[in-house]
Every structure is written in C-alpha cells, then in structure tokens.
Amino acid sequence: GSQAVFSMDPPVDLGKPQVVPPGTLNSGSSVYCVQSILGQGAYGIVVKCVRIKDMTTVAVKMIKQRPCFLKLANIEVAALSRLKSLCVDKCNLVKWHRVFMDKGHVCLEFEHLDKSLYEFLKERDRCSLLLKEIRPIIQQLANALNHLKLAGIIHADLKLENVMLVSHEKEPYRVKVIDFGMACKDSEAKIILGLPFTVAIDMWSLAGSSKWSLMEKRWSSNVSVGSATKSTADQGRFLCCFAKN
C-alpha cells in the first residue's frame, strides 16, 4: 500500500477555521496575507491570499488534520504531483504551486481563479448557457480529461463546482478543472456496482454537467426541450465512446 505523506500533529481545535482575514499563513519560505474566504466545507476552507514576497494573488486550500481529510490531502497531492510536468494552461487544469503545513492544516497553494461554473450560473439567476457559450467549455473540459487519461488519472468528481472560470472578463468562458481530492490512478481503480471504474466516469460527469448547464431553470429561445435533451444524450454517448477508445 501507499505510505501517507502527512500524519497527525498534536491535537488542535479544528471546530473553527484556524485563520481568518486578515490573518497570515507561513510556508517556511513564503508568508501569505489572507484576504478573504473563497469557500468553506467539511474538509476545511479555501482562502484568497497575497504571497508577500512577490505580491502574487493565490488561492490556498486548507485541509483539516483529521484522518479522513488527510487521506484526501494525500490523494490530491499525489495526483497533482503526477500532473506537475504538464503544461496545465494548455491542459485546462489548475496550476498547483506547493504544499505546506500551518495552523493545524495541510495547505495547498494554487493559482487564483475567478469563479466556479456553478457560481456563474447562480449569478445569471440560473439561466441556462447558450450552445455557443457551452460549446467552448465542453471542448476545454474534454481536453482536460484527455490529458488526465494520458496521465493515467481519473478525476472522479467532475461537476459544475469543480470547473472554474479563469478570468471571465479578460478571457470569457476559459475554464480549468480543480479539486483532485477524489482522484485515483486508473491502474488502481476499483469495481463499483459491478461496473469497471474507468475514465468513462469522468466523461459521464462531463455529459451530466453539460446537460445541467443547458437545462438550468429555462431554455434559450432557439433550443427546444426535446432537441436539447436529444443533443445532450447524443453528446454523452459520444463522450463515453471517446473515453473507451
């Protein structure tokens, strides 16, 4: 079996975030000024920071030091390490810089991105994307999944929340895939519900995300429910076939 990268430090109170704006984080080689909380969940928080030495804005994912969360941290670091050699900008994958420990958390430093596709749809009052808007997103996600397949990695958690717009004002609909906490090597994938757990699961998720981006709340005026549903189903079949080949 694989050896854990991180182990438990002496117990700390993890009931609340260990850093809140305007606190600081220290990696040993860099100090980060925490500006805001970008997201928060059971595993910990994601904070927007300025790396003081070069005044670069970054995102730091802080994972709590609990056994189940440490396992996710180890999985994510292993996947990110395998992807380190890729040109992530061309692969539509989030750029990971480093990992460090501070304030009772495993801290992963990433490039700072704009907002998730889920948040983007919420801001549009859950208005569906037009085909001309979703087409480049699907192409980029297919590109990301193709590079993951070549690297032998299954993302296993592709959803609207894990698709980030890079900078929507400057580069409309340019996206990157984030969150590799559930990723696994395709050689280590298990059988689930009697079916092989392969990269096809990511293609299925892509088809599902595409469907919800089209169907959210209302349809665009030039797409009927029947035609859009059929188009999405056909696209899903194509994506699954692509994953198998």
Q: Any catalytic annotation for residue 186?
A: no
In eight-state DSSP terms, residue 93 is B
DSSP3 helix / strand / coil % (the chain, rounded to 5): 35, 30, 35
Tell me whether residue 61 is annotated as binding.
Answer: yes
Distance (Å, whole) CA 84 – CA 95: 8
Sign of CA dihedral 80, 81, 82, 86: positive
Tokens 């480049």 identify what position?
136
φ and ψ at residue 78, rounded to 5 degrees: -60, -45
φ and ψ at residue 50, rounded to 5 degrees: -110, 120
187-194, Cβ contacts within 8 angstroms, sequence gap of 24 or more? 187/152, 189/154
Distance (Å, whole) CA 44 – CA 105: 8
φ and ψ at residue 153, rounded to 5 degrees: -120, 135
Distance (Å, whole) CA 144 – CA 37: 27
> Do the beta carbons of residue 144 and residue 199 sit within 8 Å?
no
One of 157, 179, 202, 234 is an active-site residue; which one?
157
The residues annotated as belonging to the active site are 157
Residues in the annotated binding site? 61
Residues in the annotated binding site for ATP? 61
